[in-house]
Chains A and B, each alone.
Chain A
Amino acid sequence: MCGTSFSPLFTLSFGSMGRGYIVEDAVEGYLSKLCEQQPGPVTGLLIGQSSTQRDFVIMATRTPQREESMAAAGSSVDKEWVTEHARQVSRMLPGGLSVLGVFIITDTDAKDTLTTLRQLVFAVENLISLEHLWVPADDDVTDCVTLHVNPKTRKTICRTFDVKDPKSMAKPADWKYQSGVCSSWSMMSCCLNVDMLVPLPTRAGPENMDTSLNEGLKVWAHHIQSGACLIDGKKLPEDTELTGGQKRNVRQTYTAQLLVTPDDLRSPDVVQQCGGSVSVRGVIHSRAYIHSNKPKARLAEKLLKRDVVSTVATRVQMLLEELQVSEEESNGSRKHKQQTEQFCLPRRIFCPVKVSGPVCVCDYQFSDEGQSEVTERLKEMLDIDAAEEDLDTRQETPSEIIKEDVAAEPTVETHEALEPKRNNYVGVAMATAAALLATAASMLYLNDV
């Protein structure tokens, strides 16, 4: 490894029986660095793209340190912390990137470590899949990867578990480093109009809004998944190979169009009593990265649709988490009486994974946050050192509350300060975020009755 004193990681290969992971060179450097630095066991996540033929790992990121547990840090692994980290990280991954598994750097006996890793991948997968509103496909890869690196010997053991099979045993897998793994990956993107309106139950509390919105999101996600996808203006047969993927260093970008239609099924209840309604309206930018190993149109479509669903669901979830905190704090002092409030969903911001080409990760920025919060989260969650100028903020414009024509009746406008306590990020960024609280703009319309 040029310019570094890291000794290369030594991988045990077990033939071609199991899955084969093509791993970005930088991951080797990152793991080696962690081997040098940390005294105790280090856990972290492996991020990349799986496909039926081949799996690609493009980055690794260590679990952030949990301050309160520092003292007890010894040799034990904080499962809850690792899974929470995975949940946060998976929100920051655009289409085509996902948490593929877990690594651990420890000199503990390989057998014991495997048990720990097994527990970790199952816990991570369980938590992440809870957040998925899309329906899994038959060709989804259900194997998760685990990597054990011994910091002294630098011996690396790669195993996979089928996380959909609770009894699955560890299977050996190939772990091979290569440079520029994702340098010629394609990108497919779109801007998509979201227009959702759901009723609230008659006894509307904050928790009911969560349920209603989640139900609404599920229906909407189904429309998206069953919609037709055009790539660069054309409807391609599913098995069409995306062209140009083979050309090295020629990065392909595609624009997608989604055509949707509601279900033909008629709703049984035409008129129902409700305690109000919630709408989500606006435009999101969605994108997916597609590996360069002869990808099919079907794959690109699947990955993009999942990103569309995830980016909306994630943002709604983030906002709900905010509201929950602020409403718990106000402890019901704010009465919900005939009022209309508006909240901006956070804006999506991208940041290139510098090491190797075009692939970006993303973050969501609330309107009251600055870019430094974004770079801090990138550092904490993904261990990415990004400067503010590295951020790509051009895909979505800043959110703005537009006063809607709410009702024909005369309305009185009042601005209400919602004081959200942001606790959806763990660790340092969380502490900073809490200190840097600002008010989420909200508008309140009181009916002048």
Chain B
Amino acid sequence: MVVSDSQCSDTWTILRVRGPLELKCQLDSTDVPLMHKVISRTFGTLQSLVKSEACVLTVCDSPVIIWPNRGVHATPDEITPNTLCEDLQQWIQTDEQESTGKRSARKKSKKSSSVFTFVIQSIINLRLMMEATTTGPLPPPILTRTIKKSHFFSTTLPMDCVIRTNCNDTIKDACERLVEALSHQLCEMEKVILQHMKGMTLLVPEPLHFLLPEPKGLVTVVYPAGVPDSQLETQRRDLHQRFELLDDWPYFRRANAYHFPNEPYRDGYLRNPHLVLTHPTLDNGKVYLVQGIYSYHHYMQDHMDDNGWGCAYRSLQTICSWFEQQGYTERHVPTHKEIQQALVDVGDKQKSFVGSRQWIGSIEVQAVLNQLLEVTSKIMFVSQGSELASKGRELANHFLTEGTPVMIGGGVLAHTILGVAWSETTGQIRYLILDPHYTGAEDLQVITDKGWCGWKGPDFWDQTAYYNLCLPQRPKTI
């Protein structure tokens, strides 16, 4: 990924509306066209519901409620259709109990945000609700009983739409687009249900958001829940075509689904800690970085005391996490034991290796990636650390075309290289290092302030020791 220094002048506010909608109907017939008709009609009812005056959007953690189809009526009174979307932020109560670590991280990421072409400045969550009350008087309910042996179709549609608004967009603009997005999503869900209907088996539609390279930004796709990625390649191919994306990089696997900034990762690992760092400035230099998302694996995690011997295992875990989170594999990040077992399985080590505290190196990392993820790797051999300074072009190329984290080991400690800043003209180089030897807590501030994740010069390497670099090659799939 090439990061240019061009500034993104626009700041975006993402509006995300979520809420379940009930879909219920009685399928009188097993005749497919008739079933389609009934389901479509039920979707039609939901369509008119989201376009009706009963449709309500409530801003989460705030007293703000908006009726998008009632002339964008809103409460409290201070909010009018012409209120700017970003002004909604002031009505939202933020949870002060949020960990201070996260807080400072957010501040920091804002500071350096301008270097990224797409940064979500803020996200406003809304909940889709329906007003049950109406204006009366009206006649009391009718009970209708239909006796007929048939099938009953009942599911909850997990509506989830996002739109991106800029600083000039009013609530009125946003509401129009949100209702449109909801209506569109219902259409997509209907398509997915009808497409994947087999006999009396119906699949629940599952909307997912994907962040595409600019200018496309966030895109929502509806998949049939429960159908594995491997069976959805045709759909992905269509999507790649529709959004004019390269056919050698997965954008639409479930693992690629965009993770909103306000949704903490449950597993506790930090993601992409390097994002808060400021890039070094080199004459005519460019920055070449790992692409996509990885998690930071280091000593002492997972209740595993590997202090002093596990650095290469951790670096390997970081690489595996990249492949998992880019959707190349559904395999979870392997434990030390699983790594050791894989090496025994390929015949690289004796059985006694499993459970031991023996080091591994780049060659073993290559073998494990091949064994567990079917990922091949290039090995770059450097007989002296001083030679690394001349590997700028090769490393830059790796990050451009492969974009995977690189494990570096050899005679001394193992590290992960996440990128280089390199000047083609002067040959100057800096390395973005993720250090697996860190033993502390997942505190982004400490990790970046103390250089556990940071930019290093050529003198970082032991000038006389030899090094092996493992450069994982990503499979060219979608």
A284 to B147, CA, bound (A): 26
Taken together as a complex, chains A and B put the C-alpha atoms of A428 and B153 apart, in Å, by: 46
User: When chains A and B are docked, how far (Å) is the Cα of A359 from the Cα of B154?
Assistant: 42
Asked if B154 and A312 make an inter-chain contact with CB atoms under 8 angstroms apart, the answer reads: no
Q: Which of A235, A341, A346 contacts B145 (CB 8 A)?
A: A341
The segment from A8-16, A46-54, A139-147, A260-268 that touches chain B is: A260-268
Q: Tell which of A261, A342, A395 touches B142, judged by Cβ atoms closer than 8 Å.
A: A342
Q: If the complex has contacts A192-B133, A275-B149, are A262 and B142 also in contact, measured as CB distance less than 8 A?
A: no
The answer to whether A315 has its CB under 8 Å from any CB of chain B is yes
Contact A230-B146, Cβ < 8 Å, known A258-B133, A345-B140, A398-B139: no
Are B37 and A342 neighbours in the complex by a CB distance under 8 Å?
no
Question: How far apart sit A396 and B204, CA to CA, in the bound complex (Å)?
Answer: 39
* Cβ-defined partner of B140 (8 Å) among A190, A263, A315, A407: A315
Query: Which residues of B have CB within 8 Å of A224?
Result: 132
User: Which of B19-27, B102-110, B248-256, B420-428 lies on the face that meets chain A?
Assistant: B19-27
Expressed in whole angstroms, the Cα–Cα distance for A266 and B63 within the complex equals 27
Q: How many residue pairs at the A-B interface have CB separations less than 8 Å?
A: 215
Chain A residues near B146 (CB-CB < 8 A): 276-278, 339-341, 406
A256 interfacial by beta-carbon distance below 8 Å: yes
Q: Chain B residues near A348 (CB, 8 Å)?
A: 140
Which residues of A (239-281) have their CB < 8 Å from a CB of B?
256-267, 269-281
Q: How far apart are A140's CB and chain B's nearest CB, in angstroms?
A: 24
Contact residues, B120-147 vs A (CB, 8 A) = 127-147
CB–CB A261/B128 < 8 A: yes
For residue B350, CB closer than 8 A to chain A, the reply is: no
Report chain A residues within 8 Å CB of B156: 262-267
> Given contacts A315-B140, A398-B139, are A230 and B148 in contact (CB under 8 A)?
no
Could you tell me if A193 and B139 are in contact, using CB atoms closer than 8 angstroms?
A: no
What's the least CB distance linking A25 to chain B, in Å? 34
Closest to B154 in A: A267
A335, closest chain B residue (CB): B147
**What sequence of 0s and 1s flags, for each residue 154-184 of chain A, a beta carbon within 8 Å of any chain B beta carbon?**
0000000000000000000000000000000
Total count of chain A residues near the partner, CB < 8 A:
78
B441 CB-CB contact with A under 8 Å = no
The answer to whether the Cβ of A408 comes within 8 Å of any Cβ in the partner chain is yes
Q: Is the CB of B147 within 8 A of A200?
A: yes
Shortest Cβ distance from B21 into A: residue: A262
Establish whether residues A273 and B151, one from each chain, have CB atoms under 8 Å apart when the complex forms: yes
What A residues does B158 contact at CB under 8 A? 264, 266
Q: Which residues of B contact A394 (CB under 8 A)?
A: 137
For residue B152, which residues in chain A have a CB less than 8 angstroms away from its CB? 199, 271-274, 277
The answer to whether B143 and A280 have CB atoms under 8 Å apart is: yes
CB-based contact A275/B148 at 8 Å: yes
Asked if A271 and B147 sit within 8 Å, CB to CB, the answer is no
Which A residues are CB-close (under 8 A) to B204?
266, 270
Distance (whole angstroms) from the CB of B188 to the closest CB of chain A: 18
Residue A197 at the chain B interface, CB threshold 8 Å: yes
Is A17 interfacial (CB 8 A cutoff)? no
Chain A residues with CB under 8 Å of B136's CB are 191, 283, 285, 395-397
Are A260 and B142 interface neighbours, CB within 8 A?
Answer: no
Q: Does A26 contact B (CB under 8 A)?
A: no
Report Cα–Cα, A346/B65, bound state, in Å.
34
User: B145 contacts which chain A residues (CB < 8 A)?
Assistant: 200, 209, 276-278, 340-343
Among B19, B133, B149, which residue has its beta carbon within 8 angstroms of that of A190?
B133
B147 close to A260 (CB less than 8 A): no
Which residue of B has the minimal Cβ distance to A337?
B147
Contacting B at CB under 8 A, from A312-331, are 312, 315-316, 319
List, in ascending order, chain A residues with CB within 8 A of B203's CB: 270
CB within 8 Å for A192 and B154 given contacts A262-B20, A344-B140, A396-B140: no
Does A112 sit within 8 A of B, measured CB to CB? no
Query: In the bound complex, how far is the Cα of B440 from the Cα of A196, in angstroms?
Result: 55
Q: Is A77 an interface residue (CB 8 A)?
A: no
A197–B140 CB distance below 8 A: no
With A259-B56, A259-B65, A396-B140 known, 14 other A-B pairs at CB within 8 A are: A197-B24, A199-B152, A235-B65, A260-B130, A262-B20, A270-B155, A270-B201, A271-B202, A273-B152, A280-B141, A341-B144, A347-B139, A397-B136, A397-B138
CB-CB nearest 4 A-B residue pairs: A282-B141, A191-B136, A199-B152, A283-B138
Q: Give 8 CB contacts A-B under 8 Å.
A: A234-B63, A235-B63, A262-B21, A266-B158, A274-B26, A274-B150, A395-B136, A395-B137
Interface residues of B (CB under 8 A from A): 19-22, 24-28, 34, 37, 54, 56, 58, 63, 65, 75-76, 127-156, 158, 200-204
Q: Taking beta carbons and an 8 Å cutoff, which residues of A are in contact with B?
A: 190-194, 197, 199-200, 202, 204, 209, 224, 227-228, 230, 233-235, 256-267, 269-285, 312, 315-316, 319, 336-348, 394-402, 404, 406-408, 447
